[in-house]
Structure 1
Amino acid sequence: MTSALRRLFVGGAFAVALLALTACAGETADAEPSGAPSPAASSPVAEPSAAPTEEPAAAADPTCETIIPETTVADYDSVGWSAQASPFTITGEEVPGGIECVWANFDGPASDQLHIYGWAPIDEATADEARERLEAEGWTVEADPAGVYVTEPAETAVATDENGYGITYFFEAGTVKIADTKQSILLIEWG
């Protein structure tokens, strides 16, 4: 073999070896060293589904502790007051799905110191009938952009707010609230 042919052969063999090394290096350059464990796969990525697999949780029923702010409940608890719940009624007729709560110190001496809060779902026809019954009994009806206030007659009110309102119902779309004063309606958060 001539020296020129030998150089070509050695050069070609060198080039092939270099290509082989480069190819192998490229394959293992991204791989972890053989002694190191490969990282564990993280939790699989959830594929979005076309339909939800669970029904949303239904809202809990209103309670004396949930229709008013937690801070108000805590204030009542701190002075020894508790709540007694009863069905929500308007002129003696029950409004299904509602609750009426009287907050007072039921363990202390008898007193007129109490607060009333209530909430109920109501349809428009039932609300209209209830307002008519209250108005027939002398209650005052006041329209408001947010709904309709219906307040007991001043001469029968045991306690009133700073504007002279005693027990008041507030009718708004789909709900009715009651409180011992018109101002206290603002504390009812349910619905």
Structure 2
Amino acid sequence: MTSRLPRLGAALVLAATALLVTSCASAAPEPEPTGTVASTPTPTAPAPEATETEAPVAEDLTCDNMILASTIADFTAAGWSSQAEPFYIGALELPGGLLCKWADLEGPAGDHLNMYGWAPISTETAEELQATLVGEGWIREDAPQGVYITENPDTAMSVDDQGYGWTYLFSESDVKFSNTKQGILLVDWPKG
């Protein structure tokens, strides 16, 4: 009779080996890919439907948007307000233009005020007005920004640090105005 013990031992050894091989196989790390890896395509969101967008609404020219916002804040803090008027050069009113006077309009009358103006203008009208002003003694100064026409400092009521009084800046399509040449830098129109 053969002993069952060696068979039982052999069976246990085989079972243990199978268990060990199975556990090692499942714990083994996956090999790192070498070369091209096929990827699963990810679904993409459908393209948004084309919708009509509204065109930006153009602002209307006002005293509250013609000049720099920081300047308006300074004027307001000082108690100043604005008064809007049509834009004239001499006796000619420029359609679409605006002249703004900033001062303490509620206080006593005084000479402390700033004026700013802007208007669209044709080349022909600009050339005619420049010639008229120069003919009246105003001074022409060509610059990269356009043509400055300023009142004669000898007859001006007040001038800035550089000797400029009322000044117009004519560009290709518009004209800016201030009671000083330096003030023209504050005219921030048209926007954009």
Unaligned ranges ≥5, structure 1: 1-42
Partner of 2:115: 116
Tell me how large the CA RMSD over aligned residues is.
1.6
Partner of 1:25: none
TM-score norm. by structure 1 comes to 0.72
Q: Determine which structure has more spread, i.e. the larger CA radius of gyration.
A: 2
**For residue 126 of structure 2, what is the aligned residue in structure 1?**
127
> What's the offset of the Cα at 1:44?
7.1
Residue identity in the other structure for 2:84: A
Deviation at 1:65, TM superposition (A): 1.0
CA contact (8 A) 1:161 1:181 kept: yes
Aligned residue type for 2:67 = I
1:45 to partner: Cα distance: 4.5
Matched to 1:48, the amino acid is A
Indicate the residue corresponding to 2:30 in structure 1: none
Q: Assess if the C-alpha contact under 8 Å between 1:167 and 1:181 holds in 2.
A: yes
8 Å Cα contact 1:91-1:133 kept in structure 2: no
Q: 1:1-191 counterparts in 2 under 5 A?
A: 45-48=47-50, 53-191=52-190
Structure 2: any 5+ residue segments left out of the alignment?
Answer: 1-44
Q: TM-score, normalised by structure 2?
A: 0.72
Q: Hey, which bits of structure 1, 4+ residues long, moved more than 4 A?
A: none
Question: Among the aligned pairs, what percent are the same residue?
Answer: 47
Paired with 2:117 and 2:189, the residues of 1 have a C-alpha distance of: 9
Distance 2:157 2:81 in 1: 20
The aligned length equals: 146
SS, match of residue 65 in structure 1: helix
Classify the secondary structure of the residue corresponding to 1:66. helix
Distance 1:186 1:95 in 2: 21
For 1:106, the aligned partner's letter is L
How many Å apart are 1:131 and its aligned residue? Answer: 0.7
Q: Give 1:55 deviation, angstroms.
A: 4.8
- The residue type paired with residue 84 of structure 1 is Q
Asked whether the 8 Å contact 1:154–1:165 carries over to 2, the reply is yes
AA aligned to 2:100 is C
Provide closer, same or farther for how the CA distance between residues 55 and 126 of structure 1 changes in structure 2, counting only shifts above 3 A.
farther
Superposed CA offset, 1:103-146 (max 9, x none): 01111111001001011111101111111111111110111122
Q: Distance in 1 between matches of 2:165 and 2:179?
A: 6
Cα offset for 1:47? 2.4
Distance of 1:65 and 1:171 partners within structure 2:
22
